[in-house]
Structure 1
Amino acid sequence: MAKNKFGFWSIVLLGINAIIGSGIFLLPNKVYELMGTLSLAVIFFDMLLAIGMALCFAELSGLFNKNGGPYVYARAVFGNFVGFEVGFMKAAVSIIAWAAMANGFATALSAVWAPAAVPCVMQTIIVVLLAVLGILNILGVQFSKLLNNIVTVGKLLPLIFFIVIGALFIDGGNFTMTLPENVETGSFGAAALLIFYAFTGFESIATAAEDMDNPQKNLPRAILMVMLIVSAFYLFIQTVSIGVLGASLASTKTPIAAAAGTFMGSAGAILVTVGTLISIGGINIASSFLTPRTVIAIADDHMLPPVFSRYNRFGTPYVAIAFSTILAIVIALSGSFTQLAAISVVSRFTQYLPSCLAVIVLRNRQPDRISSMRLPLGPFIPLISVIVSVWLLVQSDMQKIIIGLGGLLIGVPFYFIMKKQYLNK
């Protein structure tokens, strides 16, 4: 194994870190408010969809060993234009999400350290956090790998503790199959779209393939392992939250902390708060590593200025990292990403749908090209994933769909400018 590359278990930890962020600490109450005890069914539904999509990514990652993930798959199957659009959206969403998470870390810190709520202090925290992670990323993969592994283990331990101890305090009577009084016809779809945000991030695992040891073998297995672990955590956390809090789960703003406080007192609430900070800090670390890799992948294909393809003596794409970090700082300080965070799940389907379709096209176009992880049941899994994804998108309101997919239109002129300047040279 190459010394400075991610091995199998480091890839798994990176994937978990890229998915489990602040959402898991806030999701139980929101989905319970919409669907009551059937919120478990909503999470199970999203779990099946996410695993289906992840399996598509697993098969594709077994065919490619280049940075870029969804961008690479879309470009190889559908051509430069579609590839650029997917890459453009992925880079934009990744940078915005990283900015949002940096702001989220400062906000979470303000809950336990009041000065962090002061605007100038909060802005300083955001800038320092993003800048330090950018610098560590520039210094080499080894720094990012070590920090990611430590923080991922640190974020999982409080959740494991919450699940194991909380299971002893579950009240079976809280699982009566009833729906909230204000439930509407589209509540299941709305809840599924809302909670699917907590599953997003798995598509980023393949983004840094070139920084991973034997990616065509390790990535497919790691993607499946990550999704199974994350899904198990989500189901167990929701089960404990319902079992401990019952109907009061819908009215609490910090569900896991409230549940932990119920069976462990103030010490439990503090433990979960620390876990929240570690979790959000961890997803910032994963974002700092994964986000620039999409930029470098597009640049390597001559669809961005060649300066983005420059590497330093540590073997890291320092220009792409610096660009992503600076842009993330600007967006984070603007304070305008609350709405963007709400529509980010819609934007991510610009990566999911082309990747699922790419599996079907590649199988028909190159039947002799076999991935190290080939999906069973022929085209069934990618086809169902596409159909369910489209249904899930329809559950969103039109404004979010327009804004979420509007980035595709913004990318069009950029593509033709880049094509004229660099692609044909």
Structure 2
Amino acid sequence: MKETGKFGFWSIVLLGMNGIVGTGIFLLPNKAYSIIGSASLGVLLFDAVIAGCIALCFAEAASLFTRNGGPYLYAKHALGDFWAFEVGVLKWIVTVIAWAAMAVGFATALGAAVPALSGDFAKDTISFILIVGLTIVNIFGVNVSKFVNNLMTISKLVPLALFIAIGIFFINGANFTPVFPQDTYVDGSFAQAAVLLFFAYTGFEVIAIAAEDMKNPKKNLPRAIIMCMLLVSILYMAILAVSIGVLGTDLANTKAPVQDAFNVIVGPIGMYVVLVGTLISMGGINFAEAYYAPRVATSMAEDGMLPSALAKRNRYNAPYVAAIVTAIASVLLAWSGSFTTLAAISAVSRFTQYLPTCLAVIIFRRKWADKARSYTIPGGYLIPVIAIGTSLWMLAQAQTNQLLWGLGGCIIILPFYYSYWKKKKAGLIKNNDEM
């Protein structure tokens, strides 16, 4: 693919922000405030540091590779085929399920805004059109995908930027005291709020999955990951601060905090601006899932871990077979409505991306000490160790059923790995050490 058709630095940043900034930030401020009051600003900053440490590990790992795959690729070269298979397959499965759930979420939100579209048939039709439409965009290659992503990301950020720019003049400083409103803080509140808000930062782990579609990925990906996390952190802090400053203790009781706060500031027009922004944001996160999911499968197929047909590309260099298979699976899941285990599996699967990547940074420094890197985390092993420790702490906060579902997912895919291992041992699959 020609360099001119690939994602440049700022397009990578927008792609990353599109994958991180979903509907959560429109809904989380009230939940966090109800747990720990205005101290939720401190918790959000704490989470930014934690997520930042993990993201820095992804940035350093990304500086060594130009292939698609991201966490799967890092696990393969650092920990071997078994862990790479677990990381890659779980990521693909969870992304397919997540896309189905997000498509239904978009259809549900649209139905709430337009009652005529609230029926089950309408929801199924909307989710089908959304998944198929985004798959077609994906099949037309990087140029079209880049344009659509940039447009959707900027469109979703505009309402949030307006909310911050206008809302900052309506902040009431008294709403930030006391830091812990009566009855909001109890033992365990900090950990509960930290886990809740942490997931608003997730999504950065997929940025490197499409490295081949990016200009000079060894240089641009690390910089883009860092810039993306910095901008998202500033955006989140500003949104939460304005929400608290405008609504005060009422924030704990609202179901749509940003919408209600903007309604207080500029009237009903503000509420509708945020509603449109929410729908665009949901559409944007759907696009991010549509773009990344096939590329996980394609990278694994190129290594022989999944059927070779999934590695096929069309004249636009798009992984069209993987895109179609992913879309079919997502449509069927969207129509089934079976999402009860999604949160349980995804809560654990996130850390199957984080822990191997943070470990890989340490391993790569020893294994490839002389290999050139465009970015190295300062402070030696301190930040990777902090990232590993905080990832384990976050994982420990998961409920028992979430851990069991996550473990079950790892076990279920073992027979498929065994099949791959047998073929490789028999010499039917060649090693692919391309980076």
TM range (shorter): over 0.9
Query: SS of 1:111's equivalent?
Result: helix
Report the CA distance shift for 1:182/1:342 in structure 2 as closer, same or farther (over 3 A): farther
Distance across 1 between alignment mates of 2:181 and 2:388 = 29
Query: SS of 2:235's equivalent?
Result: helix
Letter in 2 for 1:360: I
What are the residue-to-residue correspondences of 1:348-359 with 2, within 5 Å?
348-359=350-361
2:66 counterpart residue number: 65
Q: Which runs of 5+ in 1 are unaligned?
A: none
Contact 2:294–2:323 under 8 Å retained in 1? yes
2:312 counterpart residue number: 310
Q: Using the TM superposition, give the Cα deviation of residue 180 of structure 1 relative to its aligned residue in structure 2, in angstroms.
A: 4.9
Query: SS of 2:67's equivalent?
Result: coil
Contact 1:350–1:405 under 8 Å retained in 2? no
Contact 1:56–1:359 under 8 Å retained in 2? yes
2:410 counterpart residue number: 408
Letter in 2 for 1:146: F
Letter in 2 for 1:225: M
Structure 1's consecutive aligned runs of 4 or more residues displaced over 6 angstroms after TM superposition are: none
Distance across 2 between alignment mates of 1:418 and 1:261 = 56
What are the residue-to-residue correspondences of 1:113-192 with 2, within 5 Å?
113-176=114-177, 177-181=179-183, 183-192=185-194
1:361 counterpart residue number: 363
Answering whether residue 316 of structure 2 is matched by residue 323 of structure 1, we say no
1:234 counterpart residue number: 236
Distance across 2 between alignment mates of 1:348 and 1:243 = 32
Contact 1:347–1:405 under 8 Å retained in 2? no
Deviates more, 1:181-190 or 1:102-111: 181-190
Query: SS of 2:199's equivalent?
Result: helix
1:23 counterpart residue number: 24
1:243 counterpart residue number: 245
Contact 2:34–2:184 under 8 Å retained in 1? no
1:294 counterpart residue number: 296
Distance across 2 between alignment mates of 1:391 and 1:89 = 21
1:47 counterpart residue number: 48
Contact 2:309–2:321 under 8 Å retained in 1? yes
Q: Using the TM superposition, give the Cα deviation of residue 422 of structure 1 relative to its aligned residue in structure 2, in angstroms.
A: 5.9
Q: Using the TM superposition, give the Cα deviation of residue 144 of structure 1 relative to its aligned residue in structure 2, in angstroms.
A: 0.7
Alignment length (residue pairs): 425
1:384 counterpart residue number: 386
Q: Using the TM superposition, give the Cα deviation of residue 411 of structure 1 relative to its aligned residue in structure 2, in angstroms.
A: 2.0
1:109 counterpart residue number: 110
Letter in 1 for 2:343: A
Contact 1:196–1:345 under 8 Å retained in 2? no
Distance across 2 between alignment mates of 1:211 and 1:268 = 37
Report the CA distance shift for 1:342/1:155 in structure 2 as closer, same or farther (over 3 A): farther
Answering whether residue 11 of structure 2 is matched by residue 10 of structure 1, we say yes
Distance across 2 between alignment mates of 1:364 and 1:192 = 33
Letter in 2 for 1:128: I
Letter in 2 for 1:43: L
Report the CA distance shift for 1:180/1:22 in structure 2 as closer, same or farther (over 3 A): farther
Query: SS of 2:267's equivalent?
Result: helix
Letter in 2 for 1:6: F
Letter in 2 for 1:29: N
1:196 counterpart residue number: 198
Q: Which runs of 5+ in 2 are unaligned?
A: 429-435
Contact 1:200–1:345 under 8 Å retained in 2? no
Task: Output one character per residue of 1:305-357: Cα deviation in whole Å (capped at 9) or x when no partner.
Answer: 11111111121111111111111111122212154136523321010011001
Query: SS of 2:304's equivalent?
Result: coil
Report the CA distance shift for 1:271/1:412 in structure 2 as closer, same or farther (over 3 A): same
2:281 counterpart residue number: 279
Query: SS of 1:324's equivalent?
Result: helix
Report the CA distance shift for 1:148/1:115 in structure 2 as closer, same or farther (over 3 A): same
Query: SS of 2:148's equivalent?
Result: helix
2:39 counterpart residue number: 38
Contact 1:34–1:191 under 8 Å retained in 2? yes
Task: Output one character per residue of 1:195-237: Cα deviation in whole Å (capped at 9) or x when no partner.
Answer: 2111111011000001111100110000000000111111100
TM-score, normalization by structure 2: 0.95
Contact 1:25–1:276 under 8 Å retained in 2? yes
Q: Using the TM superposition, give the Cα deviation of residue 149 of structure 1 relative to its aligned residue in structure 2, in angstroms.
A: 0.5
1:269 to 268, 271, 276: 271
Contact 1:98–1:288 under 8 Å retained in 2? yes
Q: Using the TM superposition, give the Cα deviation of residue 135 of structure 1 relative to its aligned residue in structure 2, in angstroms.
A: 1.2
Task: Output one character per residue of 1:285-307: Cα deviation in whole Å (capped at 9) or x when no partner.
Answer: 11111111100010011111111
Query: SS of 2:5's equivalent?
Result: coil
Letter in 1 for 2:144: F
Distance across 1 between alignment mates of 2:96 and 2:5 = 25
Distance across 2 between alignment mates of 1:405 and 1:23 = 26
Distance across 2 between alignment mates of 1:309 and 1:413 = 21
Task: Output one character per residue of 1:227-248: Cα deviation in whole Å (capped at 9) or x when no partner.
Answer: 0011111110000000011111
Task: Output one character per residue of 1:70-90: Cα deviation in whole Å (capped at 9) or x when no partner.
Answer: 000000010000111110111
Letter in 2 for 1:199: Y
Distance across 1 between alignment mates of 2:341 and 2:410 = 18
Query: SS of 2:3's equivalent?
Result: coil
Aligned identity (percent) is: 51
Q: Using the TM superposition, give the Cα deviation of residue 406 of structure 1 relative to its aligned residue in structure 2, in angstroms.
A: 2.7
Letter in 2 for 1:295: A
Query: SS of 1:273's equivalent?
Result: helix
Deviates more, 1:135-144 or 1:59-68: 135-144
What are the residue-to-residue correspondences of 1:220-231 with 2, within 5 Å?
220-231=222-233
Distance across 1 between alignment mates of 2:31 and 2:130 = 29
Letter in 1 for 2:339: F
Letter in 1 for 2:105: G
Contact 1:186–1:395 under 8 Å retained in 2? no
2:395 to 393, 397, 405: 393
Contact 2:344–2:405 under 8 Å retained in 1? no
